[in-house]
Structure 1
Amino acid sequence: MKKQDSSPRKLRLPHLTAGRIASIAASLLVLALLVGLGIYLNAPKPGDIPTSTSQMIFAVARVNDVLMDNAQADDWSEGRRLGTQLLELEICSGEHKGEFLEAYNYLNAYTNLDAKENTRLIVQLGYDDSGALYVVNIFNYDRWQVVGAFVLVFALVMVLVGGWKGVKALLGLLFTLACVWFLLLPMMLQGVPPIPATVAIIALTSAASLLLLDGPTLKTLCATLGCVGGVAVAGISAAVVGTLTPLNGFNTENAEALVLRAADGGLEISGLLVCGILISSMGAVMDVAMAIASSLHELHTHNPELSPLGLFRSGMNIGRDAMGTMANTLILAFAGSSLNTLLLFQVYDYPIMQLLNSDLMSLELLQGVAGSMGIILTVPIVAALSGYIMGRKRKQN
């Protein structure tokens, strides 16, 4: 019977080979280039005029006292209190922190910020003709403390359950959000064609997220190529159907407001519909791609003699189980985002011909079906790539 070694184990650091050092250096170089590009795209340009919204003054305010309250519960609004309040507010942020102001708060069924003592609100501040500070508008509740705590709980759960891979997944998510906000959107606003820009960002963020999770492995390569291929299928199918119907970015929400901005900065609105479908389908497609690539990698590891055709067949069998649930998830997500409008269609008993040909229903169907098409065709793409690449490695060995 072997004696167990009771000495404390030393933490083993990863061995830094020349290849690993080169990979780290290349990653840092790419990251530095992306940061530089983001700074350039977001820097103010000569001749830029600040928007009226950017010059508004918002602050967090705490209700110090409710000076008057005639609001009463109303039946038709499901018990929401309707009426008027006069609030004494203490400004809690900004250059006017510590000042006290009075403001009327008008409660109706839709903008119903029912305030009590110590309620925290977001208010818009302004100056009257004499230069005195006053509350222009009570904008909303200060929700960020609760929302921020919920985000922290989500991150903690991901780390506790996923361990080191959970940390990597969080870093990948942050990288994706940063690329969309600081790279993709500014590129669109400066006139870069939106569809190629979106495809480039999707390829970049998919590769970065999967590399963070598993490093430069064969399954990462297969999953990344499959993800880009599946998203491309979703975009191409949406573009084809949108051209035939026709449907484009001008049919989407807030297109009218964007038209004014497009005239100044070269924003191409017509391609925004396809871009939205590419971005929204990316997560589900990435999930399917990595699931199949990871499964086939495990099969290849435990049975290196599996042929490319055998790996492909296994990938198809695995993918058939995954694609059904993922397609349902994507279509139901699009339907859930328009639940209120769908209820109105039922309330007013729209004729089926008008319903099916409305912009909203056509857009929802196009987004859901195009995204699901991308998920479905991701399965054979990843299965074929994994079978060829991993099976080819078997032959070489």
Structure 2
Amino acid sequence: MNVLVLLSIILFTLMAIVGGKKGIKSFIALFLNFAIVIATVLVMNDPNANPIWLTLLACAFISAISLFYINEVNSKTMMAFLSTIVTLVILLLFIIIITDQSMIQGFGEEEREEMMAFSLNIGIDFVKVATSVIIMSTIGAIVDTAISITSPMREIHYHNPTISRKELFLAGIRIGRDILNTSTNTLFFAFFGGYMGLLMWFKDLSYSFGEIINSKVFSDEMITIFTAGMGVAIVIPIASGMTAYYLVRDKQKN
């Protein structure tokens, strides 16, 4: 049996046992999101397509599947979805500027030897592609943080319906502060875990610390990590504020 199939079966079994119906939905959502990413990449091959708009549309679908398909449509998922979209819009302008100014688009010197046999004149704007990669890399962390804030805030409001909007907002901020450290650490060590071979290669090439920091491959990944961390930090007050406003207003109406 193929090892990927075996691992998929093991993962499905564990998710079904631990998560029950939601665990099964989460497993299916994983492949649905993967299909969206593949479809986005295929459409990006069209020179007339705009990679940034395609990525934003894909992120919206990924967020909807991750939130609504698994947890259904309710106040916590709606607020998490809206706060995710608002955070992406805020980050978009910054990502475009930093990608253009840092010149991280394209391939680094370490990758050129493998690409020499291919033509890079394919009619695609690599600045937009690099921007799309960063946006796509941030969506998972932002959605995870958003739902991790809106869900406990709804529980707090449910068990304490007389809580004020300000107190509920501050409760969301305190929850976010606990999440912020673990989320940024997850992003940081995911990079070093995935690029351990690259760091060893830098050592074999006798790169100095300055050469490592200034290499395009390393800078690209670090900018992605920092941008994702910024997204996590930004979504905390946005999700807290939107959820507090919605829950208290809804209670007052009822």
Normalised by the length of structure 2, the TM-score is 0.89
Where do residues 40-189 of structure 1 align in structure 2 (5 Å cutoff)? 145-182=2-39, 184-189=40-45
Corresponding residue SS for 1:392: helix
Q: State the 1:257 CA deviation.
A: 7.5
Where do residues 264-283 of structure 1 align in structure 2 (5 Å cutoff)? 266-283=123-140
Correspondent of 1:296 among 139, 147, 153: 153
Q: State the 1:239 CA deviation.
A: 2.4
Where do residues 1-397 of structure 1 align in structure 2 (5 Å cutoff)? 145-182=2-39, 184-191=40-47, 192-251=49-108, 256=115, 260=119, 263=122, 266-397=123-254
Label 1:258 to 1:296 Cα distance change in 2 as closer, same or farther (>3 A).
farther
Which runs of structure 1 show a deviation greater than 6 angstroms over 4 or more consecutive aligned residues?
Answer: none
Q: State the 1:310 CA deviation.
A: 1.6
Q: State the 1:359 CA deviation.
A: 1.0
Corresponding residue SS for 2:230: helix
Corresponding residue SS for 1:306: coil
Map of 1:120 onto structure 2: none
Q: State the 1:187 CA deviation.
A: 1.7
Question: Which is richer in helix?
Answer: 2
Question: Which is richer in strand?
Answer: 1
User: Percent identity over the alignment?
Assistant: 28
Q: State the 1:168 CA deviation.
A: 1.7
CA offsets 1:281-317 (integer angstroms, 9 cap, x no match): 2222211111101011111111122222222111100
Unpaired stretches in structure 1, ≥5 consecutive residues: 1-143
Q: Which one-letter code corresponds to 1:225 in the other structure?
A: L
Q: How far apart, CA to CA, are the structure 1 residues paired with 2:65 and 2:116? A: 34
Q: 146-155 vs 166-175, which deviates more?
A: 166-175
Q: State the 1:362 CA deviation.
A: 1.3
RMSD: 2.4
Map of 1:54 onto structure 2: none
CA contact 2:60–2:85 (8 Å) conserved in 1 = yes
CA offsets 1:72-123 (integer angstroms, 9 cap, x no match): xxxxxxxxxxxxxxxxxxxxxxxxxxxxxxxxxxxxxxxxxxxxxxxxxxxx
Q: Which one-letter code corresponds to 1:237 in the other structure?
A: F
Q: State the 1:369 CA deviation.
A: 0.7
Q: State the 1:174 CA deviation.
A: 2.0
Q: How far apart, CA to CA, are the structure 2 residues paired with 1:230 and 1:310? A: 23
Question: Aligned residues, how many?
Answer: 251
Q: How far apart, CA to CA, are the structure 2 residues paired with 1:383 and 1:259? A: 48
Label 1:327 to 1:236 Cα distance change in 2 as closer, same or farther (>3 A).
farther
CA offsets 1:24-66 (integer angstroms, 9 cap, x no match): xxxxxxxxxxxxxxxxxxxxxxxxxxxxxxxxxxxxxxxxxxx
Corresponding residue SS for 1:271: helix
CA contact 2:88–2:231 (8 Å) conserved in 1 = yes
Q: State the 1:248 CA deviation.
A: 2.0
Q: How far apart, CA to CA, are the structure 2 residues paired with 1:188 and 1:312? A: 40
Q: How far apart, CA to CA, are the structure 2 residues paired with 1:262 and 1:148? A: 37
Q: Which one-letter code corresponds to 1:226 in the other structure?
A: S
Label 1:230 to 1:193 Cα distance change in 2 as closer, same or farther (>3 A).
same
Q: Which one-letter code corresponds to 2:59 in the other structure?
A: I
CA contact 2:108–2:215 (8 Å) conserved in 1 = no
Label 1:249 to 1:342 Cα distance change in 2 as closer, same or farther (>3 A).
same
CA contact 1:277–1:370 (8 Å) conserved in 2 = yes
Q: Which one-letter code corresponds to 2:198 in the other structure?
A: T
Q: Whose RCO is larger (CA < 8 A, sep 6+)?
A: 2
CA contact 2:83–2:238 (8 Å) conserved in 1 = yes
